[in-house]
Amino acid sequence: MTRVYTYTTTADPSIIDSVEDSKGDLRAIPQSTNTTIASSDKGKHLNISSTVTLNSSTGFSTGDAVSIYNNSASPINITASSVTLRQAGSSNTGNRTLAEYGLATILCVGTNTYVIAGTGVS
C-alpha cells in the first residue's frame, strides 16, 4: 500500500494523495463485463444485464470477492455450476436471482464455496 503524507505539525498528519495497493486506487472498484466469473474479476464489479455463471474454474481463493450490478429492468440469474453458492442469512443454496437494478457481492469462503448477499438477491 502506498500512502503519501504531509505534516503541518507533528500532531497533525494528513493524506494529500491517493491510497493504493497492488490492484490500484482503493476508492474505485474496476468494472468487468464478463458473464462467467473469472480470476481476473477479483475485487471488481460486473456490470451485467444477462445470466452470470459462477463455476469451479473461477480461480478464487478464500477472501476473494466480486460484486454484481444488474444493469437491466429485468431480473437475471446467477448460476452456480459445480460450486456451492449460499445465500447469506439463510440455508438457501444453489442458483440465485438478482432483481432488476440489484446489487450483490459474492465472497469465496472456501474451496468451491461462496456466499452471496445484497439487495435484490433471492
Closest CA to 42 of 62, 69, 72, 27: 62
CB 62 within 8 A of CB 109: yes
Per the model's pLDDT, the better-predicted residue between 99 and 24 turns out to be: 99
CATH of span 29-121? 2.60.120
Single pTM value for the model: 0.78
pLDDT tens digit sequence for 53-96: 999 999 999 999 999 999 999 999 999 999 999 999 999 999 99
Strands (E), 11-95: 13-15, 20-21, 24-25, 31-32, 45-48, 52-55, 65-70, 76-81, 84-87
Q: State the pLDDT confidence band at 9, using cuts at 50, 70 and 90.
A: low
